[in-house]
Amino acid sequence: MTTSPLTAAGTAAAVHSGAGGALESLDAALDRVADLDPALHAFTTLLRADGRAAGAAVDALAPAARSALPLAGVPFAIKSTVTLDNPVVAPLLAAGAVPVGVTAAPQLCTWGMTDSEEHGITRNPRDLSLSAGGSSGGSAAAVASGMVPLAVGDDGMGSLRIPAAACGIVTIKPGPGVVPTRLSGDNWGRLAESGPLARTVGDAALALSVMSGRPELAAVGRVPRGTRVGLSTTSPIRLGVDLVPVREPWRRAAREAADLLRADDLVVVDTTLPSPRDPVLYLARWTSAVARAAEEENLPLSAMERRTRHHALLGRTVFRRGGAGDGDTRWNRGVEALRTDVERAMATAGVDVWLTPALADVPPEATEWHRRSWGRSLWASMRFSPFTPLANVLGWPAMTVPCGRTHTPLGRVLPTSVQLVGRPGSEATLLALAAAVERGGA
């Protein structure tokens, strides 16, 4: 077996000092992919030529120029939704990162499980019987397994945070405009943002600082004085009852994170995160985003999986009712009502950031979900990941960080994770809070 990789920061430091080289780190990553990926199916394509060209360019630099690259020689994976010339990838390459390969996603990034007819089932490195989550499941599996220290993904209804939490790693979905990106369907109807997946908060912050062009984000500081956190473990999908129950290990993770933050001299108060007044708001936004992406990619219904075809057809209905654009529509009114309710709850509780479980249960089994019905895939996605859509619908930054642990049905240890959600512009605060959780749980 190959050796485990350094962190992204550690790899860059080794290349800066001359203790390692960019091509050396690329070759080590490719060896790990050869060892591990046959079981995981995280990658769909390896970018050997591009990676070697990028690595050789870094190694050819004078020491001073190489030391100026924040990601010198860092191997990274790229989700299949973007290409090397995408504005989210280009800064990473300019910072000296070395592309290893393209990672798997479900069709049109629709589902919380990553599998397809073409690329098979992407499995969870923590337990191969479980899904790696979705839709950035390939990127999450690549990082969690140690094949690469860093990966790019995107998040339209939780597609970074779901697989990160499923695999026990760190991610951040920035707010709109923080990270330039170009995704299908006008960035999934303006719901989606691109961001990094990493094994540590420091690596996620370093990658975000490069992707956003904001170097100050790499220096994760203490939580700003006076920050107050609202803890909510209530199921966010409710119609008089909790339609999606939150299992105790995930509630416990949020309570443990709250205790760690309190130990860091922060105020954490118990409160309840509001749910949408319109019970189909999330579904409407989700289906219309998929329909919009399918239209832009010129993907006909005949080429879609059965479950995705049903989803896109529902989304077209939302389109016809004005749900994919601006203006006074039921869906846009629902978003504004939700934003009002969330802001009012924050003001009442006097909190600046929400802390919730990242998931409600362990990930679904790793199987051919693409052969199953729309209803089964819908429920499988919803029942373990009800907490993530809020941040996309509001357009707020959010991140997940491991805290605590549980066991899978096969008895494997699975890290549990928590989610942090803040108002626009709070990325640095979320990173600081996540670092406090990471530090306290170490």
User: Angle at Cα 270 formed by Cα 421 and Cα 286, nearest 5°?
Assistant: 35
Quickly list DSSP for 260-321.
Answer: HHHHTT-EEEE------SSTTHHHHHHHHHHHHHHHHTT--GGGS-HHHHHHHHHHHHHHHT
Active-site residue, from 25, 136, 159, 232: 159
- Give CA–CA dist 215/192, Å, rounded: 23
CA-to-CA distance for 31 and 76, rounded, in angstroms?
Answer: 14
**By the 8 A CB rule, do 398 and 172 touch?**
yes
CA distance 291 to 303: 13
Q: Which of 116, 135, 209, 212 is catalytic?
A: 135
Dist. CA 259–CA 181, nearest whole Å: 36
Q: In whole angstroms, what separates CA 132 from the centre of its chain?
A: 12
Report helix, strand or coil for 419.
Answer: strand
Q: Is 173 a catalytic residue?
A: no
CA-CA distance, 131 to 414, in Å (whole number)? 12
Of the residues 25, 79, 194, 232, which is catalytic? 79
Q: How far apart are CA 122 and CA 141, in angstroms?
A: 8
Whether 6 contacts 73, CB under 8 Å: no
Is residue 17 among the annotated active site residues? no
Catalytic annotation, residues: 79, 135, 159
